[in-house]
Structure 1
Amino acid sequence: MFTVPTPTVAIAGSADRFPVRRIFCVGQNYADHTREMGGDPDRQPPFFFSKPADAVVDTDAELPHPPQTHDLHHEVELVIALHSGGSDIAVADALRHVFGHGVGIDLTRRDLQAAAKAAGRPWDMAKGFDASAPVGPLTRGGPPAAAGIALTIDGEPRQSGNIDQMIWSVAEVIATLSGLVTLAPGDLVFTGTPAGVGPIRPGQEVRGTLDGAAPITVRFRP
């Protein structure tokens, strides 16, 4: 027989690590990004997609450029880690399930996503590929109501926003998601990205930051 290791995320200030069960992602949760992607920013119910748990990548990793894409994009996001879960969680109770928070990068093969959209097909291979979810060390506790979030490539600013600009709050996201699936300890939730998404080229260094949390930095091999 063989054993399959459990993917984990670092915890700031601790030798312990957070075991990852599943990764859920919210699409178009910032009005400016929604417009950027050609959508309507009016407050519609959030939609979700997922990534495999072993897509997580620690900070300071060196990554190969993903195969089958000529348009790899960055999307910096607030990430929420859950220590408990359930179904049909009330908004008022949602933050009680949060273990910690951090900053992550939703890597996207944009050309594959565009082709899937045009054909009415799922996005799985555009979003859920190997090493597509870099996540920085988690800070224990829920996120602040407002905090700057940003991304640079080779030190040049590409994305900048504040998590208070989210259309759906963290509590609302958790509550809505729990009405679709039963949430559980170990679940991660990527909560959406501000405007400014764009391409990553081989050889570049990508750094995501969130005020009050440890950064995430990954480098792509030339």
Structure 2
Amino acid sequence: MNRSEFVFAPPPVPSVAVEGGSLRFPVRRIFCVGLNYADHAREMGKDPGAEPPFFFTKPADAVVESGATIPYPSMTGNLHHEIELVAALGSGGADIPVEEALGHVWGYAAGIDLTKRDLQKKARDEGKPWDFSKGFDQSAPIGALRPAARIGHPQSGRIALSVNGEPRQAGDLSDMILGVAEVIAEISKYVRLAPGDLIFTGTPAGVGPLRPGDRIEGEIAGVGAASLAIAS
């Protein structure tokens, strides 16, 4: 179809920078993993032995370029940061075996899952969906992707985040309850994964509030960094 066949011009394709050049990675969907680090599950009042990781989504256009300044979002007084390893898929499928899953990963990046914690808690307590606490505008800042062909598939390494230079989160990728391969295999049981899908794989302990004027910096050893600022 060309543009004349649409009621209005289609929006631009959301995309993420690729390290070392001008290429962009087009984003199809964003999947996220909740409670994938035991220490974070416990700080959220959950028992990681009884409540396994689970999945939710964000819209593709929630992505934000690293280094951007974004407004403090509406309808919240408790915005939280969550640093995460992001896997970007270059191919996909349904019912992907664990042993084949990493072959579908094109690259990795550091990402920050922004969360309206007050809305999330209220929705959870009332047994309602938390879409508006996770899938709001500009809720998925992400650094430049590094191809897996160059860096391999990180199984361990420091993952950390600071706010205004103050350390907030620190952990190791090896602490994930479900590794990247297991996450891909599990999600593919429910939906057919495809090129352009991003997976935010969960966050370590230390999540906390952000305020107008804050500067956030996250990093993952061997993968890269992501930063953003909250407008004053």
Does the 8 Å CA contact 2:35/2:52 hold for their aligned counterparts?
Answer: no
Among 4, 10, 14, the residue aligned to 2:17: 10
Q: Which runs of 4+ in 1 moved over 4 A?
A: none
In the TM superposition, 1:98-109 aligns within 5 A as 98-109=105-116
Return the offset for 1:214. Answer: 2.5
In the other structure, the counterpart of 1:166 is: 176
Distance of 2:146 and 2:36 partners within structure 1: 22
Q: Could you state the TM-score of these two structures normalised by the residue count of structure 2?
A: 0.94
Among 96, 103, 110, the residue aligned to 2:103: 96
Return the offset for 1:143. Answer: 2.9
Among 125, 130, 141, the residue aligned to 2:132: 125
In the other structure, the counterpart of 2:212 is: 202
Q: Could you state the TM-score of these two structures normalised by the residue count of structure 1?
A: 0.98
Distance of 1:145 and 1:12 partners within structure 2: 20
Q: Which amino acid in the other structure matches residue 12 of structure 1?
A: E
1:114 aligns with 2:124: no
Return the offset for 1:46. Answer: 2.9
Return the offset for 1:117. Answer: 0.7
In the other structure, the counterpart of 1:192 is: 202
Partner secondary structure for residue 215 of structure 1: strand
Distance of 1:35 and 1:11 partners within structure 2: 35
Return the offset for 1:153. Answer: 0.2
Return the offset for 1:110. Answer: 0.3
Return the offset for 1:215. Answer: 1.0
Cα deviation 1:86-143 (Å, max 9, x = unaligned): 0000000000000000110000000000110111000000000000000000110043
In the other structure, the counterpart of 2:225 is: 215
Return the offset for 1:213. Answer: 2.3
RMSD of aligned Cα (Å): 1.0
Among 163, 166, 191, the residue aligned to 1:156: 166
Distance of 2:209 and 2:12 partners within structure 1: 32
Does the 8 Å CA contact 1:43/1:167 hold for their aligned counterparts?
Answer: no
Q: Which amino acid in the other structure matches residue 132 of structure 2?
A: M
Distance of 2:172 and 2:216 partners within structure 1: 19
1:178 aligns with 2:185: no
Return the offset for 1:40. Answer: 1.0
Distance of 2:104 and 2:51 partners within structure 1: 24
In the other structure, the counterpart of 2:5 is: none
Q: Count the aligned residue pairs.
A: 222
Among 15, 29, 36, the residue aligned to 1:29: 36
Identity %: 58
Q: Which amino acid in the other structure matches residue 219 of structure 1?
A: A
Instruction: Mark the structure with the bigger radius of gyration.
Output: 2
Does the 8 Å CA contact 1:12/1:214 hold for their aligned counterparts?
Answer: no
Cα deviation 1:188-221 (Å, max 9, x = unaligned): 0000000000000100001110112231110001
